[in-house]
Chain A
Amino acid sequence: MTSGTAPRGNIVRPYGDTTGDGMVQMSFTLPLPHDKLAEGAALQLARKMGLDPALLVHAKAMGPDFTFVVVYGSSTHLVNLDDVHVVEREYPLLSAKDANLAIRKQLRRKLVVVGACIGTDAHTVGIDAILNIKGFAGEKGLEYYREIKVVNLGAQVLVPDLVARARAEKADAVLVSQVVTQKDAHIHNTTQMSAAFREAYPAGQVPVLIAGGPRFEDGSEKALGVDRIFGRGTTPGEVASYLVHEIGLRKGKKS
């Protein structure tokens, strides 16, 4: 019964307690006082979201003007896995030792990484987790890699300063972090940054541009003008492995 494979080829539905039952649970708040009308509105919304039958299991007034509800229901939607497109990691994960070896072989010098939080964001937790020797999730940061030179500019770095420093250091890669954001500030900041780099460098010589932060959308590299986006939970090893891969590709193109 619980074979784990989709019973009808590539079509999947949510699994509650029986294959194919499509059961989903959700909660939301309506800006209505708690009464029959609010409960009816919640059920109608659930049906419009594709839950049929929808079951209102909990409704509670939150102050005089709001109602919180929990709804269970069977989703009428199907997902065809053939139509699902995801970005799979296209490079191997390397240990720090292997990454160092690869860099030495490819560059015969240290790989220079310049990192910063740009814009008004003063939260360096992300960039520090990747760059500081302390690292993240038990993995040491890029400072720990013998063949990587890390220049961490810290918080609230202006884009022109970042570009100037990257040029002065002959950076191979530039990492920018955007943790706290509001009103799409992370998108504006990042596009501004990538445009500034394209302007300052001859075509084809722009460093590898990497943006990191929990709010970036998967696959939005092109729109942002960067080479790679890393999201929540990224470890330093993943970034190092990507850098080795990307630098290798670029080397290959040139020679």
Chain B
Amino acid sequence: MTRQTPMLELDPAVVRRARSLARKAAAPVVEIARSHTTVSVERATLRLAGLSGADHERVPWVNHLVNAVRDEVGLEHGVTTPVYDALLRGEAPDLTTLAQKAASGNVSFRLPTGREGAAARRAAAKGVGSGLRTIDRSRATRDRLVKRHGDPKTTPWIYLIVATGDIYEDIPQAQAAAREGADIIAVIRSTGQSLLDYVPEGATREGFAGTYATQENFRLMRAALDDVSKELGRYVRLTNYASGLCMPEIAALAGMERLDMMLNDSMYGILFRDINPIRTFVDQRFSRQVHARAGIIINTGEDNYLTTADAVEAAHTVTVSQLLNERFAKEAGLEDWQLGLGHAFEINPEIRDSFRMELAHAMLARRLFPDAPLKWMPPTKHMTGDVFRGYLLDGFFNLVGAMTGQGILLVGMMTEAVVTPFLSDRDLALQNVRYVMNAASGLTEDFHPPRDGFIQTRARQVLSEAVDLLDRIVTDTDAAGDAPLLAAIADGTFGLMKRPPTGGKGLDGVFRRADDYDNPATTALDAWTPPARGAKR
């Protein structure tokens, strides 16, 4: 995709300083992530080794097996060494049987040492390696299909949401949306899935305001979109959510089932779902490493900062979050083309110059991250139920998208905040996008904000506020001597939400790695480097 970079004449020294502060804020947290594991990381590892399925009460076998090992030998050594040791000792012929026996308490686990330990680790590396190879094959398949069917001819890619709760209803709707022009289909998850400490199993037909993310649902939807991609001669991408308590597992399943994009924000779960900060950062690093290897584009959730705070006052928090998300992503091995950094059109339309400020903010993001696709998200907070005004607002949102070369455009619905979109709402919304893109996308060529004018000044102001906030974050402290970023999250630096590292959901699933910690997935992911690519994309 070619895009013109709008000229903002930012001071390169300030931009460098912003990035170096983000790096400084992230470093101690990355260290925490590298020295801990979680129940979900260990479950994801077993999923890569091929363990799937659930008992008659729909409790997944990975949960049974990880819990059994945790109770007997602890998780600080990694789940795979005791598990593969049990297999080598002939406790069960395969992982599923072992998990079944473990669920009824009929296996005893131990931590093998010496040659037995080495043998268990070798067997584990072989088992987990098969899942990683599945991810590699999925990536190769995607590359092949993109080559065969082609990418969308124009940017931004059009992103549409489907969410009925029933995967078999979602499928025809997603196919219809693709035929109407969607390049990306996002299946919204059932509300509350982020707080489940297990991944549901099988095809699901009942969800609340969304459809459960399960391996089978992923497979069904990807297959349906492959059919429609062939029909349309354009590769239609599939998006889901790697967030919440099962982020690593969902990432692993997405990689194996060839999802193309995943929502994956570094702090969203902490701030907006009250998930424990350490749990989140550990899970997030693993999931991002998987996304990197799988060739998945991540979408970050900066829009959330603007729906809970004022979009003018809090504009710089979006920039800070983008910089942190970029840093954590790069550290985990993601490349620029995989960073769908988020931002949103949420300024109160009643205030003067709201459109100019939206334009300035969107240009700032474009300029700061010239090689990232950027995900541009539509107004939600100021959609009032006046659908006519909403349609106009969405038009202006599309115009900013057109003028600033966004990579991914989440299509705004005029019935936002009223009902789940009607079929006609989606059609009207796409007409809106098409009209604006057709009429105005060439403006990137003509429109350059004048030197030191309103837009340049506003962009510089937001950037400098972002640098100030990052400065405060890296110098933050708390009584427990936590990493500055954790201290900052604890004292409510981000919005008004105070999230101490000792609070939140899922802390009991966090373990400090022992010296002999072994996890073949993290070992392989840490050693992995992205394949050299020419001018891909």
Contacts and interface: CB of A to CB of B under 8 A. Distances in A.
Tell whether A pairs with B. yes
Interface of A: 27-29, 62-63, 66, 68, 120-123, 125, 128, 132-134, 154-156, 180-183, 185, 214, 232
Contact of A63 (B180, B192, B208, B209): B180
B176 interface: yes
B179 interface: yes
Nearest to B207: A182
B273 A63 contact: no
Contact of A182 (B180, B208, B423, B424): B208
A185 B208 contact: yes
Contacts of B422: 29
B195 A156 contact: yes
A120 B274 contact: no
B192 A133 contact: no
Given A68-B424, A182-B209, A123 B307 contact: no
A66 B209 contact: no
Interface in B374-423: 385, 417, 422-423
Interface string B414-453: 0001000011100110000000000000000000000000
B191 interface: yes
B308 interface: yes
Given A29-B423, A66-B423, A122 B307 contact: no
B496 interface: yes
B60 interface: no
Contacts of B204: none
Nearest to B310: A134
B214 interface: no
Contacts of B209: 180-182
B236 to A, nearest CB: 16
B165 interface: yes
Nearest to A68: B424
Given A182-B208, A182-B209, A185-B208, A122 B424 contact: no
Contacts of B496: 132-134
Contacts of A28: 424
Given A120-B191, A132-B496, A29 B424 contact: yes
A182 B420 CA distance: 10
Which 6 pairs of residues, A with B, have the shortest CB-CB distance? A120-B192, A180-B209, A62-B427, A29-B424, A68-B424, A182-B208
B69 to A, nearest CB: 28
B40 interface: no
A125 B190 contact: no
A122 B192 CA distance: 5
B38 interface: no
Given A122-B194, A155-B274, A182-B207, 13 more contacts: A62-B427, A63-B179, A66-B424, A120-B192, A120-B208, A122-B191, A122-B192, A133-B496, A134-B308, A155-B195, A156-B192, A182-B208, A214-B417
Interface string B156-186: 0000000001000000000010011000000
Contact of B191 (A123, A125, A132): A123
Contacts of A155: 192, 195, 273-274
A125 B209 CA distance: 16
A95 B292 CA distance: 54
Given A181-B208, A182-B165, A122 B273 contact: yes
Contacts of A63: 176, 179-180
Contacts of B273: 122, 155
A123 B209 CA distance: 11
Given A29-B422, A62-B423, A121 B308 contact: no
Contact of A27 (B180, B191, B424): B424
Given A66-B423, A125-B307, A154 B208 contact: no
With a 10 A CB-CB cut-off, give which of B180, B209, B308, B496 has the most chain A CB atoms: B209
Contacts of B427: 62, 68
22 contacts: A27-B424, A28-B424, A29-B423, A29-B424, A68-B424, A68-B428, A120-B190, A121-B208, A122-B191, A125-B307, A134-B309, A134-B495, A155-B195, A156-B192, A180-B191, A180-B209, A182-B165, A182-B207, A182-B209, A183-B208, A185-B208, A232-B385
Interface in B183-230: 190-192, 194-195, 207-209
Interface in B255-312: 273-274, 307-309
Nearest to A67: B424
Contacts of A133: 496
A213 to B, nearest CB: 13
B43 to A, nearest CB: 21
Interface in B91-142: none
Nearest to A154: B274
A180 B208 contact: yes
Contacts of A29: 422-424
A95 B422 CA distance: 41
Nearest to A60: B427
A214 B385 CA distance: 11
B111 to A, nearest CB: 36
With a 10 A CB-CB cut-off, give which of B180, B194, B427 has the most chain A CB atoms: B427
Nearest to B192: A120
Nearest to A27: B424
A205 B531 CA distance: 68
Contacts of B417: 214
With a 10 A CB-CB cut-off, give which of A123, A132, A182 has the most chain B CB atoms: A182
A182 B188 CA distance: 14
Contacts of A68: 424, 427-428
Contacts of B190: 120
A155 B505 CA distance: 11
Nearest to B307: A125
Contacts of B385: 232
A9 B428 CA distance: 41
Contacts of B423: 29, 62, 66
A158 to B, nearest CB: 12
Contacts of A121: 191-192, 208
